[in-house]
């Protein structure tokens, strides 16, 4: 079969070849010769007569007894397309054949076009590198052809062992590449390696090339004592140059003929220039447009004052005390971020010392939502809160500064303000409970209730001034000495009524194997020494008590001993001297417990959940999942009873709406360290948390009566002042019952009143 491409080729080349092309591939072997012969004959005939061609074809017909289809086709083609040249007359009147332009279509065997490659899709087979598995079967790839037209096959690649050996003993110049031309591993010679190294080192590749050769001043104006040439000075050195003369005369001539304008007065020139240069105001017709809606103008920077000068007047320079004060204050709290400095000359001013830091921080603030500036965010938010547009603008009275300091001496673990708001009780590591006058800070009494155990919790009984203090496994009832006789008598009576019930003996129950079990709590007198100081009653429970919380009526209170396992939470009845353990088993370590302010519910905080129990029905009502890893404390909103704040050791402060869901309504993470205590104010829409970082954070938290309105939470202020001692900051806080005042207990041995 004669492919179409062959036909085309013949048609487009010289007509002389047309004859040879008439043979099909089948007769290729001897057809070549025949064609050559016929070529010759045809050439002769062509030179004589064109008409002979038909005969020639006839001869072809003769030679092929049975004309094939192709031949017929070819004839048709030739006839259809006609000759591929025009005959023109050349200059001598002779004939000249002008051939058409070759159109290198896809199939043309134009030698410029690349060989069609074997591809799989668009990818040449050589990219696969090796024999490939194809749906047609295994295809072994050739690399190319040698000069004899034999295929160069890809050399057999080494076995895995060879590859391993190669990789162990890396020969000099080993590249790990394969030479695409030979299929053999491509190794570089030493020279090539050296060349590559030079290129890599950005040296000049040529070896031994000296880019900076010593300059030899062969020709110099200096008169040498031993000149290279001893020839005398030539005469031309002393004669005026004819060439220069010619050039000058050329200019002179040009000036004479007026081709060069030698001089023009400047005004004239300016005038001309003015005419030429016409200015256009690009923005002449521009109209002022309103700024884009998203346009936020950059804040105006105050103009630099005298103190920013390099040499300010001496009154602007800080004296030693001011300098010290500036250096001691926190960088965030400084009034000015810089310290005015004076230099008597501008050249003595050193480089801007915090340039890098400042640039870095700017970059940070632009590119990252900075976790490091959460404090700033808080301040910004609190600024917002007190601004006029804020929803809680009516926050007027919040504790802002420390007003009174109570020096307890050792780490204070708990602090409480009495229900009248006149006294403060603090309990510390020294086992002493101290009473202070709230406003003056005068220590009124100090009662050492325990010699070795720290006082973990102090809480006042609601309604009357009896203090309960927990040290070790004991809970003590203290009547402070500041009260008047009448109140003291009443308090004594309240503490003593329970003795008539004598529940202590009866309460001891029998366990299953018949052994007598310890009662959950033993109520007794603490001993004469303490009784003289006003400590009138003592309960001993099974484990160390960490938390005390009273029921609002002042008859019940609950204690939590996290290590107490089964008896971790105990409810005590003062009027009956009765201790009960409400839970057989708790699904975790109890952290804190509190009575609901209005309903008969008990909230028990475990490590991760807060469980709400109905004490009347004796059932679990709700389990709240704050999502904190370890809850430290919680408080219930007194007015509504439906809101809860939870503080956790993993630095989170969570607000729960009990009606809404078991998940927190809001999570706030403003502290870098654990939160120890959270407390609602009883008389203001405020709450606060105490953290190990030594700060207290104040929040505005307004709860609306309308159930549809979400509570408003706004961070207000950070109270700083407690020192961090051995990673502990503020241990406990308590709100004043009527005023917006806050008392905090610090690990630094100080209690503070914030007002």
Partner 1 sequence: MASSTGASGEGQQIRVNFTTTLPDLQLPEDKSQLLVPGDIKRYGLSRVVNSEAMLNTDFSIPLDFLINGTFLRTSLEDYLKDNGLSAETTVTLQYVRSLVPPIYQASFEHDDWVADVDVLSSTSRAGLWAGNSLPQGQHRILSASYDGLLRIWNMSGQVIATSPSTSSKPFPSTDYVPAIKSAKFLDATRVASAGMDQTVRVWKYKEGSDKLSCDIKPTLELLGHTGGIESMDVHTPSSRILTASNTGEIGLWTTSASAAPDAPESALLQANPAKKRKVAVSSGVQKGALSMMQVHSGPVSAVVFHPEDSTAAYSAGQDHTIRTIDLTTSKVVNSMTTAHPLLSLCSVQGISTPLLAAGTSARHITLVDPRVSAITTSVMTLRGHRNFVTSICASPMDSYSLVSGSHDGTCRIWDLRSVRTGSKAEGGGSVSEAVYIIERESQKGQKKKSDIPGQGCKVFGVSWDKQWGIVSGGEDKQVQINKGSDLLAKEDGQ
Minimum CB distance to partner 1 smaller for 134 or for 442: 442
Q: Using alpha carbons, select from 403, 426, 482, 395 the residue that is nearest to residue 685.
A: 395
Tokens representing residue 397 in the block: 């009275």
622: which residues sit within 8 A by CB, 6+ positions away?
Answer: 611, 612, 658, 662
Which one of the spans 2-10, 87-95, 433-441, 461-469 is the region binding partner 1 (CB under 8 A)? 433-441
The CB-of-446 to partner 1 minimum distance in angstroms stands at 8
Q: Using alpha carbons, select from 738, 683, 741 the residue that is nearest to residue 420.
A: 738
Which one of the spans 117-125, 199-207, 437-445, 603-611 is the region binding partner 1 (CB under 8 A)? 437-445
Q: Does 529 bind partner 1 (CB under 8 A)?
A: yes
Minimum CB distance to partner 1 smaller for 465 or for 578: 465
Let me know the angle formed at the C-alpha of 171 by 168 and 172, rounded to the nearest 5 degrees. 140
Q: Which of 332, 405, 518, 659 binds partner 1 (CB under 8 A)?
A: 405
Minimum CB distance to partner 1 smaller for 412 or for 601: 412
Q: Does 420 bind partner 1 (CB under 8 A)?
A: yes
CA 569 distance to own-chain centroid = 44
In angstroms, rounded to a whole number, what is the distance separating the alpha carbons of residues 493 and 536?
11
Give the pairing of strands 619-624 and 610-614: antiparallel
The CB-of-533 to partner 1 minimum distance in angstroms stands at 5
Which one of the spans 281-289, 507-515, 530-538, 727-735 is the region binding partner 1 (CB under 8 A)? 530-538
Which one of the spans 478-486, 588-596, 617-625, 691-699 is the region binding partner 1 (CB under 8 A)? 478-486
Q: Which of 318, 597, 672, 721 binds partner 1 (CB under 8 A)?
A: 721
Residue 308 burial (10 A CB sphere; 0-12, 13-18, 19+)? middle
Which one of the spans 87-95, 122-130, 220-228, 432-440 is the region binding partner 1 (CB under 8 A)? 432-440
Minimum CB distance to partner 1 smaller for 583 or for 741: 741
Minimum CB distance to partner 1 smaller for 395 or for 590: 395
The CB-of-531 to partner 1 minimum distance in angstroms stands at 8
Minimum CB distance to partner 1 smaller for 467 or for 578: 467
Tokens representing residue 83 in the block: 């000759």
Among positions 479-518, residues that touch partner 1 (CB under 8 A) are 479, 481-486, 488
The CB-of-492 to partner 1 minimum distance in angstroms stands at 10
Minimum CB distance to partner 1 smaller for 441 or for 641: 441
Task: Let me know: does 524 contact 540? Beta carbons within 8 Å.
Answer: yes
Residue 313 burial (10 A CB sphere; 0-12, 13-18, 19+)? exposed
Task: Let me know: does 701 contact 684? Beta carbons within 8 Å.
Answer: no
Q: Does 322 bind partner 1 (CB under 8 A)?
A: no
The CB-of-457 to partner 1 minimum distance in angstroms stands at 22
Kind plus residue range of the DSSP H or E element containing 611: strand 610-614
Site string for partner 1, 171-190 (x = CB under 8 A): --------------------
The CB-of-460 to partner 1 minimum distance in angstroms stands at 16
Kind plus residue range of the DSSP H or E element containing 489: helix 485-496
Among positions 229-268, residues that touch partner 1 (CB under 8 A) are none
Q: Which of 17, 422, 642, 650 binds partner 1 (CB under 8 A)?
A: 422
Site string for partner 1, 267-296 (x = CB under 8 A): ------------------------------
In angstroms, rounded to a whole number, what is the distance separating the alpha carbons of residues 286 and 278?
20
Q: Which of 417, 668, 733, 755 binds partner 1 (CB under 8 A)?
A: 755
Q: Using alpha carbons, select from 94, 117, 85 the residue that is nearest to residue 14.
A: 85
Minimum CB distance to partner 1 smaller for 182 or for 738: 738
Q: Cβ–Cβ contacts within 10 Å for residue 201, how many?
A: 7
Q: Which of 520, 534, 562, 715 binds partner 1 (CB under 8 A)?
A: 534
Task: Let me know: does 718 contact 378? Beta carbons within 8 Å.
Answer: yes
Tokens representing residue 443 in the block: 């220590």
Among positions 384-403, residues that touch partner 1 (CB under 8 A) are 396-397, 401-403
Among positions 728-747, residues that touch partner 1 (CB under 8 A) are 738-739, 741
Minimum CB distance to partner 1 smaller for 6 or for 386: 386
Minimum CB distance to partner 1 smaller for 317 or for 444: 444
Minimum CB distance to partner 1 smaller for 214 or for 396: 396
In angstroms, rounded to a whole number, what is the distance separating the alpha carbons of residues 592 and 292?
55
Minimum CB distance to partner 1 smaller for 612 or for 719: 719
Q: Which of 220, 225, 440, 511 binds partner 1 (CB under 8 A)?
A: 440
Q: What are phi and psi of 312, to 5 degrees?
A: -75, 160
The CB-of-388 to partner 1 minimum distance in angstroms stands at 9
In angstroms, rounded to a whole number, what is the distance separating the alpha carbons of residues 416 and 303?
51
In angstroms, rounded to a whole number, what is the distance separating the alpha carbons of residues 468 and 478?
6
In angstroms, rounded to a whole number, what is the distance separating the alpha carbons of residues 317 and 304?
15
Give the pairing of strands 142-145 and 695-702: unpaired
Which one of the spans 37-45, 72-80, 154-162, 414-422 is the region binding partner 1 (CB under 8 A)? 414-422
Tokens representing residue 84 in the block: 């591929």
Q: Does 439 bind partner 1 (CB under 8 A)?
A: yes
Minimum CB distance to partner 1 smaller for 348 or for 720: 720
Number of residues that bind partner 1 (CB under 8 A): 37
Q: Alpha helices of 258-373 — where are they, by DSSP H?
A: 266-276, 320-328, 355-367
| β-sheet bridge partners, residue 521 | 541
Minimum CB distance to partner 1 smaller for 601 or for 755: 755
Q: Does 532 bind partner 1 (CB under 8 A)?
A: yes
The CB-of-442 to partner 1 minimum distance in angstroms stands at 6
| 680, 684, 704 from 701: Cα distances, Å | 9, 9, 10
Task: Let me know: does 742 contact 753? Beta carbons within 8 Å.
Answer: yes
Among positions 588-627, residues that touch partner 1 (CB under 8 A) are none
Which one of the spans 190-198, 262-270, 298-306, 444-452 is the region binding partner 1 (CB under 8 A)? 444-452
Q: Using alpha carbons, select from 607, 665, 619, 615 the residue that is nearest to residue 640.
A: 665
Q: Which of 18, 385, 404, 604 binds partner 1 (CB under 8 A)?
A: 404
Minimum CB distance to partner 1 smaller for 436 or for 595: 436
Orientation of helix 52-63 relative to helix 28-48, angle to 10°: 160
Tokens representing residue 92 in the block: 């001598």
Which one of the spans 136-144, 443-451, 517-525, 703-711 is the region binding partner 1 (CB under 8 A)? 443-451
CA 68 distance to own-chain centroid = 79
Please report where in the chains the tokens 């420390």 appear, as a residue.
402
Among positions 673-702, residues that touch partner 1 (CB under 8 A) are none
In angstroms, rounded to a whole number, what is the distance separating the alpha carbons of residues 684 and 716?
13
Q: Which residues bind partner 1 (CB under 8 A)?
A: 396-397, 401-405, 420-422, 437, 439-442, 444-445, 447, 479, 481-486, 488, 529, 532-534, 721, 738-739, 741, 750, 752, 755
């Amino acid at each position: 079969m004669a492919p179409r491409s062959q036909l085309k080729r013949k048609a487009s080349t010289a007509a002389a070849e047309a004859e040879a092309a008439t043979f099909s591939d089948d007769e290729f072997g001897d057809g070549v010769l025949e064609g050559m012969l016929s070529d010759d004959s045809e050439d002769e005939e062509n030179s004589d007569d064109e008409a002979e061609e038909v005969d020639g074809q006839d001869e072809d017909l003769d030679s092929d007894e049975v004309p094939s289809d192709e031949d017929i086709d070819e004839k048709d083609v030739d006839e259809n397309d006609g000759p591929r040249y025009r005959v023109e007359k050349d200059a001598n009147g002779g004939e000249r054949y002008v051939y058409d332009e070759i159109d290198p279509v896809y199939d043309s065997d134009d030698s410029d076009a690349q060989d069609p490659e074997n591809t799989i899709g668009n990818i040449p087979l050589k990219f696969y590198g090796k024999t490939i598995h194809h749906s047609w079967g295994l295809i072994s790839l050739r690399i190319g052809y040698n000069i004899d037209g034999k295929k160069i096959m890809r050399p057999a690649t080494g076995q895995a062992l060879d590859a391993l050996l190669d990789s162990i003993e890396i020969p000099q110049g080993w590249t790990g590449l394969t030479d695409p031309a030979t299929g053999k591993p491509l190794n570089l010679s030493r020279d090539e390696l050296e060349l590559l190294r030079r290129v890599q080192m950005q040296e000049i590749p040529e070896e031994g090339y000296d880019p900076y050769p010593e300059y030899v001043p062969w020709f110099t104006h200096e008169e040498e004592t031993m000149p290279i040439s001893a020839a005398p000075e030539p005469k031309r050195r002393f004669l005026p140059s004819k060439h220069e003369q010619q050039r000058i005369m050329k200019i002179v001539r040009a000036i004479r003929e007026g081709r060069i304008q030698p001089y023009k007065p400047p005004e004239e020139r300016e005038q001309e220039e003015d005419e030429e240069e016409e200015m256009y105001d690009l923005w002449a017709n521009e109209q002022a447009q309103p700024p884009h809606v998203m346009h936020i103008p950059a804040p105006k920077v105050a103009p630099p004052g005298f103190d920013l000068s390099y040499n300010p007047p001496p009154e602007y320079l800080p004296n030693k005390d001011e300098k010290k004060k500036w250096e001691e204050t926190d960088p965030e709290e400084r009034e000015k971020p810089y310290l005015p400095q004076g230099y008597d000359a501008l050249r003595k001013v050193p480089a801007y010392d915090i340039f890098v830091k400042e640039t870095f921080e700017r970059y940070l603030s632009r590119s990252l939502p900075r976790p490091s500036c959460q404090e700033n965010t808080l301040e910004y938010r609190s600024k917002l809160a007190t601004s006029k547009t804020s929803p809680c603008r009516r926050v007027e009275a919040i504790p802002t500064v420390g007003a009174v300091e109570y020096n307890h001496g050792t780490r204070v673990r708990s602090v409480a303000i009495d229900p009248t708001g006149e006294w403060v009780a603090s309990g510390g590591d020294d086992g002493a409970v101290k009473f202070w006058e709230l406003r003056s800070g005068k220590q009124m009494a100090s009662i050492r209730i325990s010699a070795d155990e720290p006082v973990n919790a102090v809480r006042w009984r609601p309604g009357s001034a009896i203090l309960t203090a927990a040290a070790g496994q004991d809970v003590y009832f203290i009547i402070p000495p500041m009260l008047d006789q009448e109140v003291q008598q009443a308090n004594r009576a309240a503490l003593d009524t329970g003795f008539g019930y004598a529940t202590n003996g009866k309460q001891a129950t029998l366990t299953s194997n018949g052994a007598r079990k310890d009662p959950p709590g033993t109520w007794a007198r603490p001993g004469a020494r303490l009784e003289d100081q006003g400590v009138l009653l003592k309960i001993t429970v099974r484990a160390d008590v960490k938390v005390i919380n009273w029921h609002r009526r002042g008859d019940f209170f609950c204690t939590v001993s996290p290590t107490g396992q089964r008896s971790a939470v105990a409810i005590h009845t003062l009027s009956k001297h009765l201790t009960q353990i409400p839970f057989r088993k708790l699904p975790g370590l109890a952290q804190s417990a509190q009575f609901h302010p209005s309903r008969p519910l008990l909230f028990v905080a475990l490590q991760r959940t807060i469980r709400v129990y109905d004490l009347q029905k004796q059932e679990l009502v709700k389990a709240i999942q704050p999502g904190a890893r370890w809850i430290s404390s919680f408080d219930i909103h007194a007015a509504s009873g439906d809101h809860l704040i939870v503080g956790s050791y993993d630095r989170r402060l969570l607000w729960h709406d009990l009606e809404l869901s078991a998940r927190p309504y809001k999570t706030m993470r403003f502290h870098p360290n654990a939160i120890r205590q959270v407390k609602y104010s009883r008389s203001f829409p405020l709450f606060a948390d105490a953290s190990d970082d030594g700060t207290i954070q104040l929040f505005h938290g307004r709860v609306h009566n309308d159930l549809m309105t979400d509570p408003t939470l706004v961070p207000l202020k950070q109270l700083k002042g407690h020192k961090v001692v051995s990673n502990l900051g503020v241990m406990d806080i308590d709100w004043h019952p009527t005023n917006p005042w806050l008392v905090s207990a610090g690990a630094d041995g100080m209690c503070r009143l914030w007002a």
